């Protein structure tokens, strides 16, 4: 399910949400999802409120509903899984339209669908309003190990280059009349993958030389110091805080 990531999710804009520092948004999205996941599934109204909160964020970010809904499609494989749950789960059963469904399974399906959808929606909003490099800087500000952030930024930087190399190899294969149609052709495709690995690795070595030539000695110099004011933090954290209130109500009511 990792396929089809060629396009970018970012939507250019100048909304207040776009302008927030990336690390505040990351923290807010993460905290929001944690709160959602911790909410009891029986409090159905709470999930509706969460959806309203996200819709408010989307409106503030001027992300159109159609865009958001289309991005939610990534969830489809798990919807299929959730649909199966009422049939396979244990426990008390109810009969709806002649089907025997497990009550527990129905709750489980609802739980996964509601929380999963809210999680995906939060991630989509984050990605739609934050540029790639800001996300990386944000991760760094959130004290992710610098080496990991570096690896991630190299991956982002060279993802396109390598995907492009892969595309050129496919065109070269097809220009010579080759079309992969079945298992018999795996050998050829794997040779391409092998060649791609060698190219990637060798490029890694050359990139390292280029870095060393400009004074790299193991750590990236800090070029952009992003800081968030208290106002920005409170603005970003308004979302998870509101969600937390809903969650607590969900537990007590």
Partner 1 sequence: MTASLEVSGLAFAYPDGHQALFGVDFAIERGERVALLGPNGAGKTTLVLHLNGILGGGAGTVTVAGLPVGKRHMAEIRQKVGIVFQDPDDQLFMPTVREDVAFGPAAAGLKGAELEARVRTALERVGMAEFADRPPHHLSFGQRRRVAVATVLAMEPEILVLDEPSSNLDPASRRELADILRSLDVTVLMVTHDLPYALELCPRALILSDGVIAADGPTGELLSDDALMRAHRLELPFGFDPRSVTART
Partner 2 sequence: MHVPDGFINAPTSAAAGVVAAGALAVSLRGARRELDERTAPLAGLVAAFIFAVQMLNFPVAAGTSGHLLGGALAAILVGPYTGVLCVSVVLLMQGILFADGGLTALGVNITDMAITTTVVAYAVFRGLVKVLPRRRRSVTVASFAAALLSVPAAAVVFTLIYAIGGTTDVSIGKVATAMIGVHVLIGIGEAAITALTVGAVIAVRPDLVYGARGLEQRLKLRVNGELVDAPAAEPAPAPVPAAARSSHRKLWITGLVASLILAGFVSFYASASPDGLEKVAHDQGIDQKEKPHANADSPLADYGVKDISDARLSGGLAGVIGVGVTVVVGSTVFWVVRRRRTDSDAPGSSVSQAA
Task: Give the helix/strand (H/E) hosting 52.
Answer: helix 44-61
Site track for partner 2 across 15-54, x = CB under 8 A: -----------x--xx--xx-xxx-xxx------------
Taking a C-beta distance cutoff of 8 angstroms, is the pair 11, 73 a contact? no
Of the pair 19, 70, the CB lying nearest partner 1 is at 19
Look at phi and psi of residue 43 and say left if phi exceeds 0, alpha if psi is from -120 to 50, else beta: beta
Q: Between the CA of residue 243 and those of 49, 50, 57, 174, what are the distances in Å?
A: 8, 6, 12, 52
Of the pair 16, 81, the CB lying nearest partner 2 is at 81
- Using CB under 8 A, which of the segments 11-19, 59-67, 124-132, 229-237 binds partner 2? 124-132
Smallest separation (angstroms) from partner 2 to the CB of 189: 6
> In terms of Cα–Cα distance, which of 12, 9, 27, 46 is closest to 242?
46
Smallest separation (angstroms) from partner 1 to the CB of 6: 13
Tell me which residues touch partner 1 (CB under 8 A): 132-133, 136, 153-154, 156-158, 160-161, 203, 206-207, 209-217, 220-224
Cα–Cα distance for residue pair 53/94, rounded to 1 Å:
33
Taking a C-beta distance cutoff of 8 angstroms, is the pair 54, 125 a contact? yes
124 near partner 2 (CB under 8 A)? yes
Look-up of token digits 């800090």: 222
- Using CB under 8 A, which of the segments 11-19, 53-61, 201-209, 223-231 binds partner 2? 201-209
> In terms of Cα–Cα distance, which of 244, 230, 213, 195 is closest to 35?
244
191 near partner 2 (CB under 8 A)? yes
- Give, as ranges, the residues between 138 and 167 that touch partner 2 (CB under 8 A): 139, 142-145, 147-148, 150-159, 161-163, 165-166
Smallest separation (angstroms) from partner 2 to the CB of 235: 20
Smallest separation (angstroms) from partner 1 to the CB of 68: 25
- Give, as ranges, the residues between 85 and 114 that touch partner 2 (CB under 8 A): 85, 88-92, 102-105, 107-109, 111-112, 114
Taking a C-beta distance cutoff of 8 angstroms, is the pair 236, 141 a contact? no
> In terms of Cα–Cα distance, which of 56, 57, 59, 35 is closest to 47?
35
Q: Which does 89 bind (CB under 5 to 8 A by kind): partner 2, partner 1, none?
A: partner 2
Q: Which does 45 bind (CB under 5 to 8 A by kind): partner 1, partner 2, none?
A: none
DSSP string, 176-208: TT----SGGGHHHHHHHHHHHHHHHHHHHHHHH
Of the pair 216, 233, the CB lying nearest partner 1 is at 216
């Amino acid at each position: 399910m990792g396929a089809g990531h060629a396009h970018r999710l970012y939507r250019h804009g100048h909304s207040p949400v776009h302008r927030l520092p990336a690390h505040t948004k990351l923290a807010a999205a993460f905290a929001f999802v944690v709160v959602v996941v911790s909410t009891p599934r029986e409090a159905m109204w709470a999930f509706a409120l969460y959806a309203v909160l996200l819709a408010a964020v989307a409106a503030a970010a001027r992300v159109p509903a159609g865009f958001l809904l289309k991005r939610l499609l990534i969830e489809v494989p798990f919807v299929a899984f959730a649909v199966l749950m009422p049939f396979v789960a244990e426990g008390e059963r109810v009969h709806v339209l002649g089907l025997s469904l497990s009550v527990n399974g129905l709750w489980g399906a609802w739980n996964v669908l509601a929380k999963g959808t809210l999680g995906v929606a939060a991630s989509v909003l984050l990605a739609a309003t934050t540029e790639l490099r800001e996300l990386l800087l944000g991760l760094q500000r959130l004290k992710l190990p610098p080496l990991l952030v570096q690896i991630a930024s190299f991956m982002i930087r060279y993802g396109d280059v390598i995907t492009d190399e892969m595309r050129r190899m496919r065109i070269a294969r097809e220009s010579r009349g080759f079309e992969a149609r079945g298992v018999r052709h795996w050998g050829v495709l794997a040779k391409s993958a092998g060649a791609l690995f060698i190219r990637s690795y060798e490029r890694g070595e050359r990139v390292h030389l280029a870095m060393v030539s400009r004074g790299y000695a193991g750590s990236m110099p800090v070029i952009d110091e992003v800081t968030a004011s208290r106002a920005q933090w409170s603005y970003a954290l308004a979302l998870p805080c509101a969600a937390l209130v809903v969650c607590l109500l969900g537990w007590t009511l």
